Chain A
């Protein structure tokens, strides 16, 4: 088991694995997202109160979800990197940051577009939105720290510490609705037993979430491959590989 884990962690193996998986995952992402968008935007009925404008949840909710999910991945891989010094964990954390920041930005932008018809204003300083904004700042800080420290191994460890410190922010995001009890409606899918969202609307939403997750994996793996090549440029397997590809 540990051997497998260790093998998995070698950049070379990861590079090869990602190469095989990316096309499959990319195809799945495309199919699922297109299908979910069709179900969500065309098939699903309008909401009894919000009419058509609720349909933005098919982008907003998965993006908000991913913004936190990606940060958790960053924090977990940072912890793995600090404890077991696993190179690939650092690479995953590094390449995930810009993707997570993009998801956060999408969640903020779509949330504010949704806020106009729902709350009567583009931006409300409520708990959810504010913590999402803080999350975006955290991503920015993480990326800035990485680029500021020139020594790569120091940068990796410093950034990992920062990611773990920032993870304190994630529970604040999650429980902020209860803490500040303001305008933002409580999370719709927190109650799995009796979802308060109708089935015809829920299924496309869940599909979108799956699609976003796959999209993240594709994106992360292809970025990680580039990062591996950049870091391991001197290693013999990379040179062999490149020579092969040229033929």
Chain B
């Protein structure tokens, strides 16, 4: 049971729940940027929540199925079509041998997740099937998909059936303008008082340079760092520090110009001061922002971050129960 890639879309790759444990040698977590949508797609087709799926960015792929399968599409609003006929989002459906799956443009949201009952069965590398393209590691041949690739599909369990759907508030929405909650810290104290204020007051626009490594934001005020004699080993710009590890979700502002939030294919460290970190509960929301979408940063404390995390986990638990 295989799937042939007719057109790869803009950036489509195999992703699962990720590859923790190797960040100390520069191999990042990887995995689906929107973990809620990954979980939903898998549960809809009867897979375990962490199975490997296809993640497509902004423009979906065209796929040909060589055998019948149960599939589901979650994430961004991009109506799936089978041989040109519309199919629902957030609901499992059947495809037959030789069926073609295509997508409309993503109207809202930036990433779709295509799960197949049985999961995409590329060989696991370091415990994960996720693609880390910068290191040519995992996924399909260590890279994003290309026309002519043939993807192996695993053996489906008995649980997969058509017509299973997400309902009510379990269906995610992706606003074009949103708030991202930030725990300040790290090198936040290096910002001037004014920069510390405008960072949270300004509305920021997602730049075209937004990918699995990081999301760049622009159109806010430049952020000045306090002048100082730079410590030995740090670069000469006031936004430089002695190269250090970057947390996932951390925000750096090279040269004080445009904030970059690192995501799951993060560069693991470097010499730019991080001024805070987006809380874990909001990382999926970044994944669904298109270029030109708007964000405001909202300062929260650890208690609020943990409460948001509990709500996020609670929602996944409710989804798991509803789709069991």
B partners with A: no
By a beta-carbon cutoff of 8 Å, the part of chain B in contact with chain A is none
